[in-house]
Amino acid sequence: MRTDRFLRIALPTATVAAFLLAWTAYVHTAEVSAFILPTPLQIVSAFIGLVSDAEIWRHALVTVIEAVSGFLIAVVLGITLGMAMARIQMLEWAFKPFIVCLQLIPKIALAPLFILWFGFGLESKIVIAAALSFFPVFSNALVAFRSVEPGDRDVFTMLQANPVQRFTMLDLPTALPVVLAGMEVAVVMSMIGAIVGEFIGGNEGLGYLAVAMLQELQVPGLFAVIVLLTLIGLTLYTLIAQLRGWLTPWHASVAGRSQDA
């Protein structure tokens, strides 16, 4: 057990260190231009420069607000619609064509359209983020609320449970693990949506900053922005994963994780 724990830390440390060393060695030996691929050290110093500038946090805040707002809209809409369609078969029949079409459209391709409709401000990015993160929540909610077993329903029927009790003590806890898994995917998608929106139009946000860096050929700075975006994405994802552990501690995915730790 103890060697296991040691290896779990030592192995990833070793591979990451080897990767960074190889990267540095490659840049030096192959004499790659710093405009194309900076060394990890150059990126780190650019990153430190970046985060010590107050301006960066304004951009970061914009991106986070866009992504989180879009995500929350997607969660509310996705869960409500998924639940409604799981309950009312007719709703699904009625809206199936729209859902299939919307699912097939590469949502990213809609981004320019949303900019056209909602302008260059925050709103269009929020809409893009929401559009991208809606489906993971919606389709998981639809499956989740359908997956209550008839045998479990029978128990509640025998106990004369009222509809509210059924919902809070049976449907909701059955669906939660799957819905939260959808939300984990969705939160990543919402970051992508916000960044793509900023690429296309606007003058603030980390996506905008990345494009600006590229135009000024500040490649280490570009990498630093990517690192920052990754850290923000990781934070959001971890928050949802924490929420999952907190809301569904009984579920195998959570139980398994805490055993590993």
Residue numbers at the binding site for another protein (CB under 8 A) = 151-152, 154-161, 165, 169-170, 173, 248, 250-252, 255
Using the minimum distance from each CB to another protein, give the nearer residue, 156 or 199. Answer: 156
Pick the closest to residue 131 from 143, 144, 115, 150 (CA basis). Answer: 115
**Which residue bears the tokens 């805490």?**
258
Minimum distance, C-beta of residue 103 to another protein, in the bound complex (Å): 31
Burial group, residue 173, by CB count within 10 angstroms (0-12, 13-18, 19+): middle
Minimum distance, C-beta of residue 80 to another protein, in the bound complex (Å): 22
The Cα 112–Cα 77 span in angstroms is: 22
The Cα 107–Cα 78 span in angstroms is: 16
Q: Taking the chain, what is the end-to-end CA distance rounded to the nearest angstrom?
A: 12
Pick the closest to residue 196 from 122, 141, 129 (CA basis). Answer: 129
Minimum distance, C-beta of residue 200 to another protein, in the bound complex (Å): 44
Using the minimum distance from each CB to another protein, give the nearer residue, 141 or 192. Answer: 141
Using the minimum distance from each CB to another protein, give the nearer residue, 55 or 260. Answer: 260
Minimum distance, C-beta of residue 245 to another protein, in the bound complex (Å): 14
Minimum distance, C-beta of residue 243 to another protein, in the bound complex (Å): 16
Using the minimum distance from each CB to another protein, give the nearer residue, 118 or 156. Answer: 156
Q: Length of the chain, please? A: 261
Using the minimum distance from each CB to another protein, give the nearer residue, 161 or 214. Answer: 161
Copy the structure tokens of residue 195.
């960044």
